[in-house]
Amino acid sequence: MNRQEIDLLVKKMNVETATGVVDERIQQIVVRLLGDLFQAIEDLDLSPSEVWKGLEYFTDAGQANELGLLAAGLGLEHFLDLRSDEADAQAGVLGGTPRTIEGPLYVSGAPESVGFARMDDGTESDKLDLLFIEGTVTDVDGNVIEGAKVEMWHANGLGMYSFFDNSQSEFNLRRTIMADGNGHYVAQTTMPVGYGCPPEGTTQAVLNKLGRHGNRPSHVHYFVSAPGFRKLTTQFNIEGDQYLWDDFAFATREGLVAVAADVSDAAEMARLGADKPFK
Ligand code: MBD
Ligand code: FE
């Protein structure tokens, strides 16, 4: 069938059959995606068993709760970021910290504090470097944003995230810090280790077929928000990780690479808030 015949067939089956209320946008999307799928089946001469295998794959990926991971790994989520960048450029919205993907591992409801938080529960303190994360939230002109909400989340020493890894305590390595009167925030935590896709999972299975790895560099995720401002979704990725520029999810970007500096000075440690009690 040629494309014209395909489009006629799709309409005959899924548009002309409508007897109830139509959601025009959903109809438009379904018709387009079906036409593209049928066309791909033609072009690639897919066998019926290949088509059924594809459906089975999506069933398995959904049951494994890996569709978000798949979207990251195949670059769909990064593509959406590039589109948002283009839209911003066209609208003249420029500057500030670059956005990058959220990924599939955010959980809402993390403990909140003002100015400072300790993110780790102490269980890996003897194995991992202590990490201080310090920042100031400003607008694109450099004016501080008092009380901005900084949500952060990252992996443990095994590259695993609390909630999804039920061996960790609730909200381990997840915190919400309200920037202080100077827009400043500090987090004390443990150095994250890069995430790797579950080796036996559905995402890694397709990456294997593509000859790709499923690893991310060490990184920390952010949502930054404040009344009257658009929410920023971003991360920093840590210099020195072998996957820094070889991220399976394509999240590393210029401007989002952080260099961890050694701190040994006691006064600097105290300024950062080392040894404050758990919160
Ligand atoms: C992650 O930690 C992550 O950030 C992404 C994008 C995908 C999988 C795991
Ligand atoms: Fe992550």
Q: Considering the entire predicted model, what is its pTM?
A: 0.94
pLDDT (mean) for 85-111: 97
- Average pLDDT in the chain: 96
Task: Specify the DSSP class assigned to residue 215.
Answer: B
Looking at this protein, which amino acid is placed at residue 138? T
Residues linked to residue 141 through DSSP beta bridges, in sequence order: none
**pLDDT tops 80 at residue 275:** no
- Tokens for 93? 């919205």
Query: Which structural domain range is residue 105 located in?
Result: 76-272
pLDDT (mean) for 222-241: 98
Q: Are 39 and 121 part of one and the same domain?
A: no
pLDDT score for 118? 98
Ligand nearest to the backbone CA of 252? 1
Q: Are 26 and 82 part of one and the same domain?
A: no
CATH code of the domain in which 264 resides: 2.60.130.10
Residues linked to residue 245 through DSSP beta bridges, in sequence order: none
Q: Are 36 and 80 part of one and the same domain?
A: no
Q: How many domains does the chain have?
A: 2
The best mutation among 78, 99, 216 to test binding of ligand 1, ranked by most ligand atoms within 8 Å of the C-beta, falls on 216
pLDDT score for 276? 59
Q: Are 236 and 177 part of one and the same domain?
A: yes
pLDDT (mean) for 178-186: 98
Ligand 1 centre and the CA of 196: distance in Å?
8
Ligand 1 centre and the CA of 132: distance in Å?
21
Residue nearest to atom 7 of ligand 1 (CA): 103
**pLDDT tops 50 at residue 279:** no
What are the pocket residues of ligand 1 if the criterion is a CB atom closer than 6 Å to any ligand atom? Answer: 69, 72, 101, 103-105, 195, 216, 249, 251
Q: Where are the beta strands (DSSP E) in the chain?
A: 112-114, 116-118, 130-136, 149-154, 174-178, 184-190, 219-225, 232-238, 257-258
Contact 252, 245 (CB under 8 A): yes
Residue nearest to atom 4 of ligand 1 (CA): 103
Q: Predicted ipTM?
A: 0.97
Q: For residue 248, tell me if it sits in a domain.
A: yes
Q: For residue 27, tell me if it sits in a domain.
A: yes
Q: Are 191 and 268 part of one and the same domain?
A: yes
Residues 41 and 39: their CA atoms lie apart, in Å, by 5
| Torsion over CA: 70, 74, 76, 82 (sign) | positive
